[in-house]
Amino acid sequence: MSNDFNEKTAEIDQKKIKCKDCGGFLTFAVGTTHLNCQYCGAKNEIEVELAKTEEIDFEKFLSEASHKQDEQQISTVKCDGCGASTTMAPNVTSDNCPFCATPLVIKNGTTRSIIRPKYMLPFKIDRKKADGLFTGWVGGLWFAPNDLKRYAAHTAEKLNGMYMPYWTYDSNTASDYTGMRGDHYYDTESYTDSEGKSQTRQVQKTRWTPARGHVHNKFDDILVCASKALPDKMTRDLEPWDLPELVNFNDSFLSGFKTESYQVEVKEGFDVAKKVMDKEIGETVRKDIGGDTQTVTTISTDYNDITFKHILLPIWISAYRYNEKVYRFTINARTGEVQGERPYSVAKIVLAVVTVVAVIATAIWFFKSRG
């Protein structure tokens, strides 16, 4: 999707979902299929429909303007610290960026056109359980600063529920390759040992022969995070996601949560997906070459029948500043997988080293004194 959409300054506005009984503001009750009213306690059911996913033709999308029919206008606030573009709750005038903890003063936001998500996974793990998962994760860290454990003790109010944008890509690939096949064999070799005696041993050698061929691969739902706010390794480590449980996009599931809009365009995302595909293609080529070892010289791949879709996936996230550095913690809000960056306590490490040295020195003294 090109970057030439009109952008304008506008006040932050997020769609409010009102209670059918009293008109109060509703929030999604995690792990259920209804919205809770903050005022009268009524439960407003959400119509949930498992998605019969339809893919978008990648080449057609890039060459035609038809995708604009699936666009939506969103209002976001961009963080000056990390560049994340996040939707904010209604009537919020200040907040901290959920990705880097930079203070945000929200005077106005930016309205822009984006591709509307077609599918999503609603939150399954609520804030209370996420808080317990995070606290347990911190408790298992060696040499963690005491500041971090104090922070973890008050995590609940600092965790942000966030829907992250993702692309998924499908493709059939056809690859021509050249390389070398290595087959091991053994020769008997004579040698003289340390006592001057003649000995024999088996020595492994490799016989190399040229190889070339053609392989096919089929890829389904290669997942690419469309946000640049989190390191790629962190988002990868949150996988796998239960994508068979995708439901059709519904604004009701967004109520009470923030949403990160995508910063990675469709074409750029496919370049990332190709790197994932290329790794598996390389493994397929090695299997096709066979033998005991292989050297791959060239691989030329055609990517055919490319399709994609835009989905939202839920995470709990918190950012922690320690010694002027930002550390982020994320939780897969479907599976409970916890990933994060962590600081180390230099004082605790030094104390541990000194203790070990003291124990070794004491042990040496003890054995010498007995001798």
> Which residues, 6 or more positions from 50, have their beta carbon under 8 angstroms from its beta carbon?
245, 246, 247
- Structure letter (DSSP) for residue 246: -
Under a CB-based contact definition with an 8 Å cutoff, are residues 40 and 22 in contact?
yes
CB atoms near residue 316 (< 10 Å): 28
- At residue 274, the pLDDT reads 97
Under a CB-based contact definition with an 8 Å cutoff, are residues 320 and 101 in contact?
yes
- Could you tell me which of 288, 225, 234, 295 has the C-alpha nearest to residue 260? 225
Q: Is 90 exposed, middle or buried (0-12, 13-18, 19+ CB in 10 A)?
A: exposed
- At residue 102, the pLDDT reads 64
Kindly tell me the number of DSSP H helices and DSSP E strands found in the chain: 6, 18
- At residue 11, the pLDDT reads 29
- At residue 14, the pLDDT reads 39
Residues 35 and 43: their CA atoms lie apart, in Å, by 6
Q: Which residues of the chain have pLDDT under 50?
A: 1-15, 90-94, 106-109
Under a CB-based contact definition with an 8 Å cutoff, are residues 55 and 310 in contact?
no
pLDDT tens-digit readout, 50-61: 667 788 999 998
For residue 36, what are the β-bridge partners? Answer: 27, 43
Under a CB-based contact definition with an 8 Å cutoff, are residues 248 and 119 in contact?
yes
> Is 39 part of a structural domain of the chain?
yes
pLDDT tens-digit readout, 232-254: 888 999 999 999 999 999 888 88
Residues 59 and 304: their CA atoms lie apart, in Å, by 10
- Full domain range(s) for residue 106: 8-179+211-351
> Is 217 part of a structural domain of the chain?
yes
> Is 368 part of a structural domain of the chain?
no
pLDDT tens-digit readout, 78-108: 666 666 666 655 444 445 666 666 655 544 4
> Is 359 part of a structural domain of the chain?
no
Under a CB-based contact definition with an 8 Å cutoff, are residues 170 and 307 in contact?
yes
Both structure tokens of 338: 């916890």
Domains of the chain: total: 1
> Is 190 part of a structural domain of the chain?
no
- Could you tell me which of 313, 335, 311, 320 has the C-alpha nearest to residue 130? 335
> Is 193 part of a structural domain of the chain?
no
3-state secondary structure of 301: strand
- At residue 69, the pLDDT reads 52
